[in-house]
Structure 1
Amino acid sequence: MITPSFDRISGPKRRSTAGAIGLAALLALPATAVAEGDGFALELNRVETVSTGCRITLVAHNGLPDALSEMGLELVVFDKEGGVAGYAAIDFADMPKGKTRVRQYDIFPGACETVERILVNDIRSCKSAAGGDLACADTLRPSSRVEIDLTY
């Protein structure tokens, strides 16, 4: 049996000055797509090929009834031919109730142009700040503003 390996990414990657300016412009945009309704909204907002591979920008909104002490996802990257091209494990860390956060992750060592879809394969952790696990899988709402699909 082959066990897949996962690249663990524990937080946002450092951004260049140009990236920080782009992020500031992104934050000035309304986040209505991810802020409406209940559940945990996850939007693939931007992708860019950088020297280390494909970097994604995710906008997450915690519309759950509780603040989260942990939120971790397992992502699977599919190429244009439908083949599995990579895996990534990402952590959002804590997410206060009602909070929207923007995070960047390098998820794939190749060019973003070769990626067709990103699958949220599993919710690795979803813990209430009050203690205990939450059923985040039932409320996850993925969406995408780019040419790459984000699905669950």
Structure 2
Amino acid sequence: MTQSPRIPSAIALVATLFCAPTQATTPPEGALEVELNKLEQRADACVTYLVFGNRTATDFTSLQLELVLFDDQGLIQQRLALEAAPLTAGKTSVKLFEVADTRCDQLGRLLINDVTVCADDTGARSDCLQRIAPRSRLSTQLIK
């Protein structure tokens, strides 16, 4: 009896499927979306409206961001720390931050330079910066 050329191919395919590493059955946690949504000038301060979309399964009790503000020429204007928490799992929220002595029309971009503190109910987390997905609806960029 001669063997069909398809049989070795089928055996190889089945062996590959059963021997290949399996992927995790639980999906990875989602992103922490941060969107620069609006800038509003008030006297000598620029009010920054940030929209946070917590697409994870985690309630964050602390999320301190180190932001660096650049002017429209690319020069660093100032560095500030912002506390964005609490951020509830699966929820979108808006946070306003006043940046003193700053003109909104002179901001070129905002850099999320670091996450200085990130914690949930179990304690400190080290994966928050990697999870941040920045974007902007304005000509002023939000980057990391």
Q: Normalised by the shorter chain, which TM-score bucket?
A: 0.7 to 0.9
Structure-2 residue corresponding to 1:144: 136
Q: Does 1:67 align with 2:56?
A: no
Unaligned runs of 5+ in 2: 1-28
1:131 maps onto 2:131 in alignment: no
TM value normalised by structure 1? 0.71
Q: State yes or no: 1:90 paired with 2:113.
A: no
Paired residues for 1:38-117 under 5 Å: 38-117=30-109
2:112 matched to which residue of 1?
Answer: 120
Distance 1:122 1:143 in 2: 16
Q: Distance in 1 between matches of 2:62 and 2:126?
A: 10
Structure 1 runs not aligned, ≥5 long: 1-36
Once residues 66 and 118 of structure 2 are traced to their aligned partners in structure 1, the CA distance between those partners, rounded to angstroms, is 12
In structure 2, distance between residues paired with 1:56 and 1:151: 15
> Between Structure 1 and Structure 2, whose CA radius of gyration is higher?
2
Q: TM-score, normalised by structure 2?
A: 0.75
Shift of 1:108: 4.4
Number of matched pairs: 116
Give the CA RMSD over aligned residues: 1.5
Displaced runs of 4 or more, over 3 A: none
Whole-angstrom distance in 2 between the partners of 1:151 and 1:111 = 19
